[in-house]
């Protein structure tokens, strides 16, 4: 069964954020880390995976991504803190 991911990457704790959706989380985060992701992520050096959630349906994942993008920054920060209070880079756990 294929999964789709909504993710948030950050430049640093409390720094610039990017919200995205993908079907291959490890590959997509690697693209951001190496400067091959979005222009926004490249411009602000955003590459630390700080939050993600999975969905069995791309429609649900895109709907969630769109909702999160519209949220105030405080809500996004609280979402990250709920899963990852130290803002550690979760990318390392994807490849473990």
If you average pLDDT over residues 2-16, what whole number do you get? 95
Say whether pLDDT at 15 is over 70.
yes
If you average pLDDT over residues 56-62, what whole number do you get? 98
* Confidence tier at 3 by pLDDT (50, 70, 90): very high
Please, what are the domains in the chain? 4-94 (3.40.1440.10)
* Confidence tier at 67 by pLDDT (50, 70, 90): very high
* Confidence tier at 39 by pLDDT (50, 70, 90): confident
Residue 96 has a pLDDT of: 59
Say whether pLDDT at 88 is over 80.
yes
* Confidence tier at 94 by pLDDT (50, 70, 90): confident
Q: Which residue shows structure tokens 């994942």? A: 61
* CB proximity list for 83: less than 8 A, separation 6 or greater: 51
Rounded to whole angstroms, the Cα distance separating 1 from 60 reads: 15
Could you write out the three-class secondary structure of 62-74?
A: HHHHHHHHHCCHH
User: Under DSSP, is residue 61 helix (H, G, I), strand (E, B) or coil?
Assistant: helix
């Amino acid at each position: 069964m294929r999964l789709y991911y909504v993710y948030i990457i950050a430049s640093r704790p409390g720094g610039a954020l990017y919200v995205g959706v993908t079907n291959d989380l490890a590959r997509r985060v690697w693209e951001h880390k190496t400067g091959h992701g979005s222009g926004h992520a490249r411009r602000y050096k955003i590459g630390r995976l700080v939050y993600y959630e999975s969905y069995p349906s791309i429609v649900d994942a895109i709907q969630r991504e769109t909702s999160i993008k519209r949220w105030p920054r405080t809500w996004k920060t609280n979402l990250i803190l709920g899963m990852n209070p130290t803002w550690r880079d979760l990318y390392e756990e994807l490849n473990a």
